Chain A
Amino acid sequence: NAGVMQNPRHLVRRRGQEARLRCSPMKGHSHVYWYRQLPEEGLKFMVYLQKENIIDESGMPKERFSAEFPKEGPSILRIQQVVRGDSAAYFCASSLSGNGYTFGSGTRLTVV
């Protein structure tokens, strides 16, 4: 069991470009969560998805951010037209049924 896999580990984008972050949940897990962490801060909830459905996106910025968890393949967090303030570590977690999160190692996005 490979755990929650996130890629890339590090991503550098210029302002205005798009960032795509991928998350493959643990085998058998159908719940996926995305969190953002700024330096020296705790994680902040962004979005909760189940297969093909967004369940709770109350933590997502209204513009430029979107997430999906298709029937096949990884969950994708997409950030369009990135700005410097988007620089952060983005963590994905998965669970079997809403209990017992397992976090991935994160993607560190740097916007230059």
Chain B
Amino acid sequence: GESVGLHLPTLSVQEGDNSIINCAYSNSASDYFIWYKQESGKGPQFIIDIRSNMDKRQGQRVTVLLNKTVKHLSLQIAATQPGDSAVYFCAETYFGNEKLTFGTGTRLTIIP
């Protein structure tokens, strides 16, 4: 399944499948991007980050892709598990700026 960010804020994926969550960021000056996972009643939890001098970065079961030309960021989660159910936010900032600008978020639901 695939989310288109603001236009599809809810994504349901079968357990074991891969999921892709998209984010369109707003500031062309942003050079640092972060994906956060937020479970119900909790604060945002860091998942993975990427700097603008890269277009792909991989972690454990997660991959972030950055397309600066169209100001697009995506998070791929491989082999989804029930514990992946949460709201996922992208955030952007730039060097020297302490503030993060968050996207609206996508709610990911893993279907057992």
**Is A25 in the interface zone, CB < 8 Å from B?**
no
- Return the contact of A42 from the options B43, B46, B99, B103 (Cβ within 8 A): B103
| A interface size (C-beta, 8 A) | 25
**Is B54 in the interface zone, CB < 8 Å from A?**
no
Contact A56/B99 with A42-B89, A42-B104, A42-B105 known, Cβ cut-off 8 Å:
yes
> Do the beta carbons of B103 and A101 come within 8 Å of each other?
no
- Return the contact of A45 from the options B9, B36, B100 (Cβ within 8 A): B100
Shortest Cβ distance from residue A56 to the other chain B in the assembled complex, whole angstroms: 6
> Do the beta carbons of B44 and A103 come within 8 Å of each other?
yes
CB neighbours (8 Å) of B102 from chain A are 35, 42-44
> Do the beta carbons of A48 and B99 come within 8 Å of each other?
yes
> Do the beta carbons of B99 and A43 come within 8 Å of each other?
no
Contacts between chains A and B (CB distance < 8 A), count:
50
Query: Bound state CA distance, A101 and B36, in angstroms?
Result: 11
> Do the beta carbons of A31 and B98 come within 8 Å of each other?
yes
**Is B61 in the interface zone, CB < 8 Å from A?**
no
- Return the contact of B100 from the options A31, A101, A106 (Cβ within 8 A): A101
Contact with B along A35-60 (1 / 0, CB 8 A): 10000111111001000000110110
CB neighbours (8 Å) of A91 from chain B are 43-44
**Is A69 in the interface zone, CB < 8 Å from B?**
no
- B residues near A (Cβ < 8 Å) are 9, 36, 41-46, 89, 91, 98-105
- A residues near B (Cβ < 8 Å) are 4, 31, 33, 35, 40-45, 48, 55-56, 58-59, 91, 93, 98, 100-106
